[in-house]
Amino acid sequence: VRYTLRRWEEFHGDLPLERIARWHINEFDEALKQLPAATGKHRNLTFRQSAAQAKHDGTAPISVKTRETMLLHLKSLTAFALDKLGVISTDPFVGYTTDKPKQKASAAKKKSVKPYTPAQVRQILDHAKTFDRATIDYWLPLLAAYTGARMEELAQLNVDDVSLIGNHWCIRITDLDDDQKVKNLHSVRTVPVPPVVMREGFLDFADSRRQAGAKLLFQEFYKANGQKAVLQDVKPNERGRFSDNYGTRFRRKVREPLGLTSEGMQFHSLRHSWTDAARRAKIDPEIRRMIAGRLEDADPTEAKYGGDDLLAEKLEALNAIAPYIASP
């Protein structure tokens, strides 16, 4: 955010909030298309100097995603100035969207997340069993494959998020803890533990963590100063994400050894594979949405209504999906 503000002030000067108009935003947005990343010699140059140097050297500009993030920084600040401080009467960012370069649908599809086939999911699950059962490396692929949950949703679980609700053992995906985050409102949900996961001893694992007095469900090995790796609770990175270290290991120690390196293949591919399996099992879209915590094609307003239990229906669906997840 400080970097964004620095670039804004270099471009527009120290402009008072109440004087910011839509044309200021548009001009800044257009100028960002020539701004390179803040690396090397560009780091200490002014906005215009950096853009000119990049043009001279043929350096690629920042990505569309980075440009959108910088505008989001500014949009958040003006919204705060309006809603919380009341120092401006209108927000110049309301309704503003940045333009994106057009891309052919075929090219976009090629770059998108690529689901694993059932045979590839089986490879991943078999390979995950070679890791220590006490680690996140053992459990995360299994949970993601059979529940469709996102990597960070699982990595940040607390021991108390695995509990018996009525007659069903469940996983609670939430942001109730200060360190927990979810993608959006629809991501908060309760998912029954699939029987195939219970048969692997997941409840025993969770109980062992509970008896050890642990708060976080998962652990991973940490090595420092050349010492022997020690099993410790997963730690959040500087952005508060608990899955960062594991995500890197999944690439190096799972995907690469198995040759699953095609463009679009990543941990998140397991979520897409689960969705494909749910469609093959002909699961009701509403139940599928509630399990995965995804809005999909549901009406956003209607999706906010109703309870989130339906645990028996969810479990029935998870049982129906399981045979389509991984080839034997």
Q: pLDDT tens, 244-295? A: 999 999 999 999 999 999 999 999 999 999 999 999 999 999 999 999 998 6
Residue type, 321: I
Q: Are 276 and 148 in contact (CB under 8 A)?
A: no
Taking the C-alpha atoms of residue 79 and residue 203, their distance in angstroms, rounded to an integer, is 45
Q: Assign 104 a pLDDT band (cuts: 50, 70, 90).
A: low
With 80 as the cut, is the pLDDT of residue 171 above it?
yes
- How far apart, in Å, are the Cα atoms of 87 and each of 71, 72, 297, 326? 20, 19, 39, 57
The residues near 261 (Cβ < 8 Å, ≥ 6 apart) are: 255
Taking the C-alpha atoms of residue 310 and residue 20, their distance in angstroms, rounded to an integer, is 49
Taking the C-alpha atoms of residue 104 and residue 54, their distance in angstroms, rounded to an integer, is 27
Q: What is the pTM of this model?
A: 0.69
pLDDT tens for 39-61 read: 777 888 999 999 999 898 888 89
Helix residue spans in 165-305 (DSSP H) = 195-199, 202-211, 244-250, 256-258, 269-280, 285-292
Task: Return the closest-CA partner of residue 198 out of 147, 246, 157.
Answer: 147
Q: What is the 3-state secondary structure (H, E, C) of 301-315?
A: CHHHCCCCCCHHHHH
> Between residues 165 and 299, which one has the greater pLDDT?
165
Query: What share of the chain has pLDDT > 90, as a percent?
Result: 73
Distance of CA 116 to the CA centre of its chain: 18
Q: Are 259 and 289 in contact (CB under 8 A)?
A: no
